[in-house]
Amino acid sequence: MAIRAVAAQREDGIVFGMFRRAWKHRHLLSLLIERNVEASFRGSVLGKLWTALVPLLRLAVYTLVLGFILRVKWPGHGNTPLETALLYFVGLTFFDFFMEAISTAPSLMHDNVNYVKKVVFPLEILPCAAVGASLVRLGVTSVILLIFFLVIRGLPPLATLSVPLIVAPFALIVVGAVWFLSALGAYVRDLRQLMGVVALMMMYLSPIFFPLAMVPERARPFFYANPLAFVIESTRSALFAAQWPNWGALAIYTVIALLFATAGYHWFLRVKPGFADVV
């Protein structure tokens, strides 16, 4: 089995094998994404409507608490309470996407034991399906954000067109993390207990509640090591300051994302033969 896994890696190629594998199983992948999205709301009265209702309720709470009760002002912006809520909403939207995806990763193989026991099933697309379902919810939340932006500030600036280019490498990083964590979680069950601690650390070490400009210059490289920092800061700048991303930084971010995702994919393939013995 181990020899077969290594052979599969060589056949797929070092970097782009993960894309070829996802494309090869694209129909199965789409079915798994649909299943994962529906599973979140199965048995509820409103069903898929919750996909839109949850971010709407969150935005309402942010507006009420941060904008009208605490009257928080975002540094460097003379913004209204509604704009303040949107600034926080951008950061929390990406944080929710990231944590939703990696929180499911440690138990992914145990939750899909029927697939693990089937030798012919391509287990490597299960992490892609988990991230894909989170991307669907991110897309719905982004549409809600844009609608409220249109109502509050009017047409978004042209730089907003760069946001998909910013999100794409971030999604690759998340997929790579899910490949790593789902493979490790098959062997180390305690990993899922650490996700709460990781969530707390990521929330306060990400520029969700503050701009990175407030961080002392010496400490900023540490914060930029956080994969959430670049995507949050660049998206806010595009939406609220009409600034295009730093293309050099985006290129470096994309290369790092590609290498990280590739490493996660090949690590997953390498340890996959032992999954059936431990789940």
The per-residue pLDDT for 258 is 95
The predicted-structure confidence for 96-155, as pLDDT tens digits, reads as follows 899 999 999 999 998 888 888 876 788 999 999 999 999 998 998 899 889 989 988 889
63 falls within a domain: yes
Structural domains in the chain (count):
1
Side chain identity, residue 80? T
> What's the confidence (pLDDT) of residue 120?
78
Q: Give a yes or no: residue 140 inside a domain.
A: yes
pTM assigned to the model: 0.88
Instruction: Indicate if the pLDDT at residue 86 is higher than 90.
Output: no
pLDDT in tens, 151-208: 888 899 999 999 999 999 999 999 999 999 999 999 988 788 888 888 888 888 889 8
33: exposed, middle or buried (Cβ count in 10 Å: 0-12, 13-18, 19+): buried
Residue 269 token pair: 């393939």
Tokens of 235: 């998206």
Q: Can you tell me the distance from the alpha carbon of 258 to that of 262, in angstroms, rounded to the nearest whole number?
A: 6
220 vs 49, higher pLDDT: 220
Q: What is the domain extent for residue 72?
A: 2-273
SS3 helix, strand, coil % of the chain, rounded to 5? 80, 0, 20
- The Cα-based distances of 151 to 67, 83, 148, 154, 166 in angstroms read 16, 11, 5, 6, 24
Which of 232, 228, 52, 235 has its CA nearest to residue 141?
Answer: 52
Contact 134, 175 (CB under 8 A): no
pLDDT at 42: 63
pLDDT band of residue 45 (cuts 50, 70, 90) is low
User: For residue 222, what are its two tokens?
Assistant: 């540490």
At 43, which amino acid appears? G
Place of tokens 């971030």: 170
- Residue 278 belongs to some domain of the structure: no
Asked whether residue 33 is assigned to any structural domain, the reply reads: yes
Helix (H, G, I), strand (E, B) or coil at 153: helix
Say if 43 falls within a structural domain.
yes
Residue 279 lies in a domain: no
Among left, alpha and beta (phi > 0; psi -120 to 50; other), residue 43 is left
Whether 191 is covered by a domain: the verdict is yes
For residues 109 and 266, give the distance between their C-alpha atoms in angstroms, rounded to a whole number. Answer: 16
Residue 124 lies in a domain: yes
